[in-house]
Amino acid sequence: MNILDKIVAHKKIEVERDKVRTTYTQLEESEYFHRETYSFKEFLLAPERTGIIAEFKRKSPSKGIINDDALVKDVTKDYAAAGASACSVLTDYGFFMGRKMDVTRARRATNIPILRKDFMIDEYQVIEAKSLGADIILLIAAILTPAEIKNLAGLAKSLELNVLLEVHNLEELERSIDSNLDAIGVNNRNLADFTVTVENSFKLAEHIPNEFMKISESAISDTETIKQLKAAGFNGFLIGENFMKQQDPGAAMREFVKGL
């Protein structure tokens, strides 16, 4: 059993527990459930924005603790001010020290799209994402069947949530395409063993239909790579660890974007 299998097994137990703790009705009573969500595409393409999806992440299975001092409200506010097109917020606690309320804290602190980054396997999590104040959900092809992707993406669109599909290889991409997706992200990190290479994005770029926003995720640590990815057709660039490993992630992003 690799790390991804362990995460999913744990997630199944977690979701069933959460359904008992907070009912669907309670989720729908959230102050954010009926808010109008931001358009992921509009913010990615806005000329005053950078295309960067700046991530708030305290820990990862591969790196351990990255930054457990930073406050999500401060970091996401600074990311937005530095030109982020969206913020990605980890909500898995067991493996990433994320908290669901981190999404809500980020929502209160910013006026840009918020991606709830988690291992989505159940309709409950999609509804929960909306109730927390998220604008975008992540669907990971490696842990979902085409039917599950279609179902979860369809539910998300009915809630006016944007949908980012994450793939790691051509097989995942070809079997997972769905009309309810807004963006397709190429994860440069292999979730089975957490090795990284940005070449993965360049390899898959031409295979992603142009109707979808193209996102490169992970292994981006310099602006030259972003320029090369833009030339290859990518619209968005998810960066987390490169900023979060610094004492002041917001300042790290401000400095980084000077090179764009």
pLDDT one-digit tens code per residue, 158-189: 999 999 999 999 999 999 999 999 999 999 98
CB 238 within 8 A of CB 185: yes
Secondary structure E strands in the chain: 52-56, 59-60, 64-65, 86-90, 114-117, 136-140, 162-167, 183-187, 213-217, 236-239
pLDDT band at 229 (very low <50, low <70, confident <90, very high): very high
CB 115 within 8 A of CB 140: no
What is the average pLDDT across 51-74? 96
Question: Strand pairing partners for 184?
Answer: 165, 214
Residues 6+ apart with CB under 8 A from 9: 1
What is the average pLDDT across 76-80? 99
pLDDT at 194 over 80: no
CB atoms inside a 10 Å sphere around CB 94: 13
Displacement of CA 259 from its chain's centroid (Å) = 24
For the stretch 30-34, contacts whose Cβ atoms lie closer than 8 Å and that sit 24 or more positions apart, written own/partner, are 30/130, 30/131, 30/132, 30/133, 32/104, 32/107, 32/130, 32/131, 32/132, 32/133, 33/130, 33/131
Q: What is the pLDDT of residue 190?
A: 79
pLDDT band at 1 (very low <50, low <70, confident <90, very high): confident
Arithmetic mean of pLDDT over the chain: 97
Which residues are known catalytic residues? 55, 57, 117, 166, 187, 217-218
H or E stretch covering 229 = helix 223-231
Q: What is the pLDDT of residue 193?
A: 75
Domain ranges (residues) in the chain: 3-32+41-257
Q: What is the pLDDT of residue 231?
A: 98
Look at residues 228, 232, 214 and name the one whose alpha carbon lies nearest to residue 259: 228
SS3 percent helix, strand, coil of the chain, rounded to 5, is 45, 15, 35
CA distances from 168 to 28, 66, 189, 204, 225 (A): 33, 23, 8, 9, 18
End-to-end C-alpha distance for the chain, whole angstroms: 41
Query: Tokens in use for 160?
Result: 């006016």
Among all chains, which residue has been given the structure tokens 């690799």?
A: 2
pTM of the model: 0.97
pLDDT at 26 over 90: yes
pLDDT band at 195 (very low <50, low <70, confident <90, very high): confident
What is the average pLDDT across 190-203? 86
pLDDT one-digit tens code per residue, 87-137: 999 999 999 999 999 999 999 999 999 999 999 999 999 999 999 999 999
pLDDT at 192 over 90: no
pLDDT band at 62 (very low <50, low <70, confident <90, very high): confident
Look at residues 212, 216, 225, 218 and name the one whose alpha carbon lies nearest to residue 241: 218
pLDDT band at 19 (very low <50, low <70, confident <90, very high): very high
CA distances from 136 to 29, 76, 82, 153, 154 (A): 19, 15, 20, 11, 13
> Above pLDDT 90, what percent of the chain?
94
Q: What is the pLDDT of residue 134?
A: 99
Q: In CATH terms, is domain 3-32+41-257 a member of 3.40.640.10?
A: no
pLDDT at 250 over 90: yes
